[in-house]
Amino acid sequence: MENALGAGLAIGLAALGTGLGIGILAAKAMEGIARQPEQAGVIRTSMIIAIAFVEAIALYALVVSLIMVSK
């Protein structure tokens, strides 16, 4: 029971931070594209790579919570 609660908290809090991070990233990238539409391709590529870095943090928490549940 405590394990499930902890696992839920672990992935939930990590998803909160990751969601905020990806939201800020996408908003700034859109501002950049709106400012300079001719650079849209470059900005989109680097945004996707940066999102993959942020997303990995949530996946660390996913692994931790899966370990917590399976114990």
Which residues of this chain interact with another protein, rule CB under 8 A? Answer: 48-49, 52-53, 55-56, 59-60, 62-63, 66-67, 70
In whole angstroms, how close is the CB of 35 to another protein at the nearest point? 24
- Quote the CA–CA distance of 68 and 7 in Å, as a whole number: 6
Of the two residues 27 and 56, which places its CB atom closer to another protein in the complex? 56
Q: How far is the CB of 27 from another protein (least distance, A)?
A: 21
- CB nearer another protein, residue 40 or residue 54: 54
Please say which residue, 34 or 49, places its beta carbon nearer to another protein: 49
71 Cβ neighbours under 8 A, 6+ residues apart: 3
